[in-house]
Amino acid sequence: MKPAAFDYRAPRSLDEALQLIDANREAKLLAGGQSLVPVLNFRLASPPLLVDLNRIAALAGIRQEADGSLVIGAMTRNRAIEKSEAVRRANPLLHAAMPHIAHAQIRNRGTIGGSLAHADPAAELPAVCVACDAELSVERKGAARTVRAKDFFRGFLTTALAPNEVLTSIRFPAWPAGRRHGFVELSRRLGDFAIVGVALTAENGKADVVIFGVEDVPRFFPGETIRAETPASIAARCRPRADHHASAEYRGELIEVLTRRALEQAGAS
Model confidence pLDDT, tens digit, residues 157-202 = 999 999 999 999 999 999 999 999 999 999 998 889 999 999 999 9
Task: Enumerate domains of the chain plus CATH numbers.
Answer: 7-52 (3.30.43.10), 61-172 (3.30.465.10), 180-265 (3.30.390.50)
User: Whole-model pTM?
Assistant: 0.96
Say what the pLDDT of residue 269 is.
Answer: 59
213 close to 126: Cβ distance less than 8 angstroms: no
Tens digit of each residue's pLDDT (9 = 90 or more) over 62-104? 999 999 999 999 999 999 999 999 999 999 999 999 999 999 9
**Alpha carbon distance 245, 243 (integer Å):** 5
Q: What is the mean pLDDT of the chain?
A: 96
Per-residue pLDDT, averaged over 12-20, amounts to 98
Q: Which of 186, 147, 191, 144 is nearest to 170 (CA)?
A: 147
What's the CA gap between 94 and 106, in Å, rounded? Answer: 17
